[in-house]
Amino acid sequence: MSKQNGQETYSMAVEKALMSRRRFLQGTAGLASLLAVAQLTAACGAPAAPAATAPAADAGAAAAGPKQGGRIIFAAESIGESLEPGLWNGFGIINIVDNLAAYLTRPNSSGVWTDPAEGFIAESWTISDDGRTYTFKIRPSMTFHDGTPVDANAVVRSLTRQVNPDDPSYVEGLYMHTNYTSNRKSITAPDDMTVVIELESPDAAYLYRLFHPSAVILSPKSLDELKQGIATNLVSAGPFKLTKFTPGAEGQLVAFEDYYLGRPHLDEIVIRGYPDEGAMLSAIEAGEVNFAPYPPSSAIPRLQNDPSKKVIAGDPVVNLFLAANVNNAPLDNKDVRKAINYAISRENLIQAVLYGLGELPATMVGPTELGFDPSGREISKQDIDKAKAHIAASGLATPIPITLTYESNRFWPQMAELIKSDLEAVGFAVTLDAQDAGSYWGKVLDGKAQLSMNQRSLWVPDPDNKVVLLQSGEATAKGETGIVTGLPEFSAKMDELLAAGKSELDPEKRKPIYKEIQDMILEELPYIMLAYYTKPTVMAANVEGLKPGAAATERVFLENVWLN
Amino acid sequence: MATVGAKALPGIDTPRTVRAQRGWAAIFRHNELTLLGGGFLLFVIIVNVAAPWLAPHDPVKIDIPQRLQAPSLAHPFGTDEFGRDLLSRVMYGGRPVLLTSLLSVLAAMLAGTAIGVIAGYLGGHVDNLFMRLIDVMLSFPAVLLAILIVASLGTGVANAIIAITFSLIPIFARVARALTLSLVVDQFVLAARAVGASGLRVVARHILPNLLPPLIVQATAMLAIAIAFASALSFLGLGVEPPTPDWGLMVSEGQRLIYDALWVPFFPGLAITLTVLAVNFLGDGLRDRLDPTLRNR
């Protein structure tokens, strides 16, 4: 009897100790309620998001001189699977490449992106009178991260390997090299310290093209040893060298002690992918990262008032636009394209999605670029009456079905939602088609999208960099807008103007050419501009040395950055 | 004895109380959480069905000057970054979630029960074949299976229903099979077969009615999971298309604003949480009523 009682007592004790399902549910409900009330009370007490403007801060001002040491944890948009710069693998890969790379030239140290290029591996150069022949003198005593010397042969090897199937590093499908190879007639090394590049026709932007990410100069020894393995290990001669690359996750770089300008200030950079904006924001808030060049726009007004953070924003050099595939009905109808253009409220996009970090656009040539024509801004103003008139003139029955394709990351889904609302208000029926980055480009460049949404940054600081999307040899002209087959006369005329604009070396004579190009774009609207985006960068308050202009594009060089 | 008949002593069931407990109304009697859960679920369904008449604003109307307004009398749940009234969006936002979860649980219950009964009743190779297929389906985590199916079929409510249905079928099939196996050897089933009842008649008249109560309990438990699944699919952008209000999608869109305008993800998140909890409370009460051996566990 006493044994039985003991067992019962034990069972009761176990029953008490174990949480019943009912008690668990009760507890969960209670806890959730408490947390909810506490959080919401706190949130409602907080001020609403302030006016969305991000004045450029001078990040370069520091009381004391640069300090040595420290680590930057860099929140990239995402990290691709391969470091091969001849392929597009996302901005995160570009961020890694730019900080380990040595190019023949580099952006101007003023931080103003459109200022003349400066020498990097090239110590000096001369340009022939006809503008076709560039002779570069290689900087002596530069070494790659593996200790081998930087010489003319290394430059020639690196700038030809992407078009040479016999090179051991070659992989099928490399295409980003066209920036500096499409107009190149020859490249030779008459001696160890001289490189001669001959062009088919003059190119006003060629010195800029030589610091395109795909033009990174790599150690020939590493190309021979790693072969296609350079996809996970690039050996160049830049300020930082790669110590570890985890595809899809992060790259780790450390200061290169033998860098020709002396060891950079930082000890280490970790460039980590945060494809989810919420996760990135949490990492910024928690101090898990101290450098974020792709922060959610919604957080910028608050972060500007956070004393532990610093926000800088440069010029609005990033174009946000819709591309209309003129081969796919109903976008083959010019009135439909014009109706779309007039239906969209750019003011709403800039205010509600970009939180004020943008400007009303004109055309593909941006406000900081040569040949910018502000008169194009008139056509970017919403005009519902004109939109409806063009719908009527199109002769199509409403609602006109149309599919908008866009990447499912960053601010694109919010953009798409607003655009859908605007278009449906004037007589379209919009289907939203969100794609991951890889699928997006596959679909768009295959010409399978109707209306797609995209951006173009100023990697090569020349007006040609953006309008070249309409050059008939580009995949964008064939697939994204389809003008090569859809608007053949327009395409042929555009090719003539693009060639003329690129080969004209006198800036004053280039301006009317780009004016004509912009007028043509506004007339046919293969691209419908949405905004000139001012890309903000958030960093910890002790990060110094990054000039606002240098943060304006996705090319983020941390060579002169230090931690205070 | 007369006292016992007039007023039940604690712990003693009179014939009257036993009869009362057998009624469905007894599920809610003396069980406040079940009453609360059932009541809240009914409230949610009514609000969502009647949203066009009850919602104070158009849930998709964009009003940029009113964006990110904190909760106030004009907008009790605040507004989102496009100035849309969040109360109205939450009132409409349960529609796709409830539709998806209810239909998918119903479909999964029908399909799973059919599979389980056939396997359990026929046994042998049929049982083996069906159960191995179910094992394969169970080897995938249910959420992953649902995501894979939607990713293959494309987004939208219809595909979400298919995906969630497939992920829930194995659970119903397992339950139905186990119960059928125990029922086919019960005396009343053997007696029915002995008097010449066909297999179809035995299943329809003697097995299915006895499966119903435990399957209803299972369906209630699965409904909570289905609501969470449907919300998760929408959160991942695999459900309805914006700007259609949907709780999961609203949480997803609002997560960037969690530090700046918490109310944007908070209210749809709260709606999901409370609805799932309500269904769980209701399921708990149903289980107590239909399986008293588990009461207080």
Give DSSP secondary structure letters for A163-201: G-TTSTT--TT--TTHHHHTTEEEEEEEETTEEEEEESS
Q: For chain A, give the percent of residues with pLDDT over 70.
A: 89
State the DSSP code for A310: E
Q: Which of residues 50-79 of B touch A (CB under 8 A)?
A: 60, 62, 64, 67-71
Q: What is the pLDDT of residue A89?
A: 84
Residue among A541, A393, A22, A305 at smallest CA distance from B287: A22
- A318-533 CATH fold: Dipeptide-binding Protein; domain 3 (3.10.105)
CA A424 to chain centre: 30
Q: Say if residue A50's pLDDT is above 50.
A: no
Q: What is the pLDDT of residue A35?
A: 47
CA A204 to chain centre: 23
What is the edge-to-edge ordering of all strands in the sheet holding A400-407? A358-359, A527-533, A318-324, A451-456, A400-407, A428-435
By Cβ distance, the residue of A302, A413, A418 closest to B62 is A418
Burial A173-211 (b: 16+ CB within 10 A, else e): ebebbbbbbbbbeebebeeebbbbbebeebbbbbbbbbb
Q: Say if residue A12's pLDDT is above 60.
A: no
* Confidence band, pLDDT 50/70/90 cuts, at residue A244: very high
Does residue B10 belong to any structural domain of this protein? no
Does residue B185 belong to any structural domain of this protein? yes
Contact A502, A204 (CB under 8 A): yes
The C-alpha atoms of residue B240 and residue A432 are separated, in whole angstroms, by 10
Whether B277 and chain A come into contact, CB under 8 Å, resolves to yes
Q: Say if residue A560's pLDDT is above 90.
A: yes
- Reduce the DSSP state of residue A527 to 3 states and report it: strand
Mutation target among A44, A349, A407 for the B interface, most CBs of B within 10 A: A44
Chain B environment of A431 (Cβ under 8 Å): 241
Range from A60-74, A135-149, A478-492, B149-163 carrying the lowest mean pLDDT? A60-74
Q: What is the pLDDT of residue A235?
A: 97
* Cβ separation B33–A413 shorter than 8 A: no
**Residues of A within an 8 Å Cβ radius of B:** 20-22, 25-26, 28-29, 32, 36, 39-40, 42-44, 46, 48-49, 277-278, 281, 285, 296, 298-299, 301-302, 348, 351-353, 408, 413-414, 416-418, 420-421, 431-432, 434
Cis peptide bond N-terminal to B243, omega within 30? yes
The C-alpha atoms of residue A40 and residue A30 are separated, in whole angstroms, by 15
* Cβ separation B242–A420 shorter than 8 A: yes
By Cβ distance, the residue of A20, A29, A418 closest to B277 is A29
Range from A239-243, A408-412, A484-488, B124-128 carrying the lowest mean pLDDT? A408-412
pLDDT in tens, A211-228: 999 999 999 999 999 999
By Cβ distance, the residue of B256, B262, B273 closest to A277 is B256
Q: Say if residue A523's pLDDT is above 70.
A: yes
Q: What is the pLDDT of residue A18?
A: 47
Residue among B107, B115, B161, B106 at smallest CA distance from B138: B115
Chain A environment of B262 (Cβ under 8 Å): 39-40, 42-44, 46
CATH number assigned to the domain covering A102-233:
3.90.76.10
Q: What is the pLDDT of residue B193?
A: 83
Q: What is the pLDDT of residue B293?
A: 56
CA distances from A44 to A38, A39, B84, B258, B264 (A): 10, 9, 17, 12, 11
- Structure-token pair, residue A225: 């040893």
Chain B environment of A408 (Cβ under 8 Å): 237
ipTM confidence: 0.71
The C-alpha atoms of residue A135 and residue A34 are separated, in whole angstroms, by 72
Does residue B72 belong to any structural domain of this protein? no
As to burial, measured by CB atoms within 10 angstroms (0-12 exposed, 13-18 middle, 19+ buried), residue B1 is exposed
CA distances from A297 to A277, A288, A345, A350 (A): 10, 19, 18, 10
- Locate the domains of chain A by residue range: 10-101+238-314+536-564, 102-233, 318-533
Range from A28-42, A351-365, A532-546, B163-177 carrying the lowest mean pLDDT? A28-42
State the DSSP code for B142: H
Local confidence pLDDT in tens for the 297 residues of chain B: 333 334 444 444 444 444 445 566 666 666 778 888 989 999 999 999 999 999 999 999 999 999 999 999 999 999 999 999 999 999 999 999 999 999 999 999 999 999 999 999 998 899 999 999 999 888 888 888 888 888 788 778 888 899 899 989 999 999 999 999 989 888 888 888 888 888 888 888 888 988 888 888 889 889 999 999 999 888 888 888 888 899 999 998 888 888 889 999 999 999 999 999 999 998 888 877 776 555 554
Range from A236-240, A381-385, B23-27, B115-119 carrying the lowest mean pLDDT? B23-27
Does residue B215 belong to any structural domain of this protein? yes
Return the H-helix or E-strand segment holding A134: strand A133-138
The C-alpha atoms of residue A441 and residue A447 are separated, in whole angstroms, by 10
Q: Say if residue A170's pLDDT is above 90.
A: yes
Tell me the pLDDT of chain A averaged across its residues: 87
Q: What is the pLDDT of residue A25?
A: 53
The C-alpha atoms of residue B188 and residue A474 are separated, in whole angstroms, by 78
pLDDT in tens, A395-417: 999 999 999 999 887 889 999 99
Q: What is the pLDDT of residue B2?
A: 38
CB atoms under 10 Å from CB of B263, counted, come to 25
pLDDT in tens, A81-94: 999 999 888 889 99
* Cβ separation A40–B70 shorter than 8 A: no
The C-alpha atoms of residue A197 and residue A213 are separated, in whole angstroms, by 18
Q: Say if residue A21's pLDDT is above 90.
A: no
Q: C-alpha angle with apex B290: B285 to B296, nearest 5 degrees?
A: 50
CA distances from B102 to A432, B114, B222, B223 (A): 26, 18, 10, 7
What is the edge-to-edge ordering of all strands in the sheet holding A184-191? A122-127, A133-138, A194-199, A184-191
Q: Say if residue A42's pLDDT is above 50.
A: no
CATH of residue B284's domain is 1.10.3720.10
Q: What is the pLDDT of residue A20?
A: 53
The C-alpha atoms of residue B132 and residue B123 are separated, in whole angstroms, by 13
The C-alpha atoms of residue A327 and residue A481 are separated, in whole angstroms, by 8
Give A351→chain B minimum CA distance, Å.
Answer: 8
Which residue range is the domain that position B272 belongs to?
29-44+78-295
By Cβ distance, the residue of B33, B64, B263 closest to A351 is B64
Q: What is the pTM of this model?
A: 0.78
Q: What is the pLDDT of residue A9?
A: 47
What average pLDDT score do residues A280-288 get? Answer: 90
Give DSSP secondary structure letters for A59-89: TT--SS------EEEEEES---S---TTS--
Yes or no: is domain A10-101+238-314+536-564 CATH 3.40.190.10? yes
CA A138 to chain centre: 30
Q: What is the pLDDT of residue A294?
A: 87
Does residue B97 belong to any structural domain of this protein? yes
Return the H-helix or E-strand segment holding B281: helix B263-290
By Cβ distance, the residue of B83, B259, B270 closest to A285 is B259
Q: What is the pLDDT of residue B22?
A: 55
The C-alpha atoms of residue B105 and residue B120 are separated, in whole angstroms, by 21
By Cβ distance, the residue of B64, B243, B260 closest to A49 is B260
- Reduce the DSSP state of residue A472 to 3 states and report it: coil
Position A432: which residue type?
L
Does residue B60 belong to any structural domain of this protein? no
Does residue B6 belong to any structural domain of this protein? no
* Cβ separation B237–A408 shorter than 8 A: yes
Task: For residue A191, report the phi and psi dihedrals to the nearest 5 degrees.
Answer: -150, 180
Give me the number of domains chain B comprises: 1
* Confidence band, pLDDT 50/70/90 cuts, at residue A174: confident
Task: For residue A241, report the phi and psi dihedrals to the nearest 5 degrees.
Answer: -120, 150
Does residue B8 belong to any structural domain of this protein? no
Closest chain A residue to B60 measured between Cα atoms? A421
Give A432→chain B minimum CA distance, Å.
Answer: 7
